[in-house]
């Protein structure tokens, strides 16, 4: 990287940074054919229900206000070269200063609160509804807040980056956290895999409740018919 006489890097426009990142990404993909980079089209990081909810939750990490905006810029400039989400963990590779690549890993404990199964499960009829975030507003308020549910609090996650920054959350970690929101646009159910929530259990719970409701209605209808039949017999003095 060219430097001024003062020792500071020469100024590069956003367009120049993006162009350079694209060249470096091509080199990275040549040696890592399975890489899954995250690219942003337009100004919004996420547009889906779960993607926007994840990004909105990051504002609760107030202790890292000075790092969060830089992470967004890194993501929008195309610096997230790889992102992999699995049960309890997020792994990523971020392109940084001096053409260096930094490995980021984020770990979190699974959700053990069975209310998710008991309450959300009773209102989700299929995976498509779950993926689109279609459930009652009351549940959204309960499970998508800072204190509860699906999104981890800052004290519940372990953050690691191979960069020399001594801060707990560097700009590379911030970029990966925002990249998760973008990835959820395309693969929303990854959120449930990340938090170790069995989506089939949610659907099963809903099916069970619907079947119980149908059986109750059927029994109620049958009971009414019996009463009606007895009334008819009495009316005509039949036994």
Contacts 24+ apart (CB under 8 A), 132-141: 132/48, 132/49, 132/188, 133/48, 133/49, 133/50, 133/53, 133/188
199 by Cβ neighbours in 10 Å (0-12 / 13-18 / 19+) ranks as: middle
- 10-residue averages of pLDDT along the chain (239 residues): 53 86 96 95 90 89 72 94 97 94 94 70 70 73 71 88 89 95 93 86 62 54 52 45
- As beta bridge partners, residue 9 has 3
Please give the model's pTM, rounded to 2 decimal places. 0.79
Cβ atoms within 10 Å, residue 49: 18
Query: With contact defined as beta carbons under 8 Å apart, do 202 and 117 qualify?
Result: yes
According to the model, what pLDDT value does residue 46 have?
95
Tokens of 164: 């020399």
Q: Domain-by-domain residue ranges, the chain?
A: 14-111+150-197
The predicted structure's pLDDT at residue 148: 65
Instruction: Using the structure block, give the residue that is written with the tokens 């001594």.
Output: 166
Sign (positive or negative) of CA dihedral 31, 34, 35, 38: positive
Closest C-alpha among 41, 62, 6, 37 to residue 175: 37
CB contact at 8 A, 44 and 87: no
Q: What is the pLDDT of residue 236?
A: 40
Contact present, 174 and 105 (Cβ < 8 Å): no
CB 47 within 8 A of CB 140: no
- What's the pLDDT tens digit per position in 116-136? 667 666 666 677 777 887 766
């Amino acid at each position: 990287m060219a430097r001024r006489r003062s020792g500071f890097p020469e100024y590069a426009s956003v367009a120049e940074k993006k162009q350079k990142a694209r060249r470096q990404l091509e080199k990275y993909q040549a040696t890592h054919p399975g890489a899954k980079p995250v690219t942003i089209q337009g100004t919004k990081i996420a547009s889906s229900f779960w993607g926007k909810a994840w990004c909105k939750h990051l504002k609760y990490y107030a202790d890292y206000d000075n790092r969060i905006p830089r992470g967004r810029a890194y993501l929008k400039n195309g610096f997230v070269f790889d992102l992999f989400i699995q049960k309890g963990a997020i792994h990523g590779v971020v392109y940084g200063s001096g053409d260096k690549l930094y490995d980021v890993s984020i770990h979190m404990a699974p959700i053990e609160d069975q209310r998710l199964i008991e309450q959300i499960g009773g209102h989700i009829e299929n995976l498509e509804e779950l993926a689109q975030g279609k459930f009652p507003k009351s549940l959204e308020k309960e499970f998508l807040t800072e204190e509860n549910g699906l999104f981890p609090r800052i004290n519940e996650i372990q953050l690691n980056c191979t960069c020399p920054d001594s801060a707990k959350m560097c700009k590379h970690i911030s970029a990966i956290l925002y990249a998760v929101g973008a990835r959820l646009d395309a693969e929303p159910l990854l959120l449930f895999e990340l938090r170790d929530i069995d989506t089939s259990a949610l659907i099963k719970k809903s099916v069970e409740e619907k079947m119980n409701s149908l059986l109750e209605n059927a029994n109620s209808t049958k009971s009414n018919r019996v009463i009606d039949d007895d009334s008819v017999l009495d009316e005509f003095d039949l036994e």
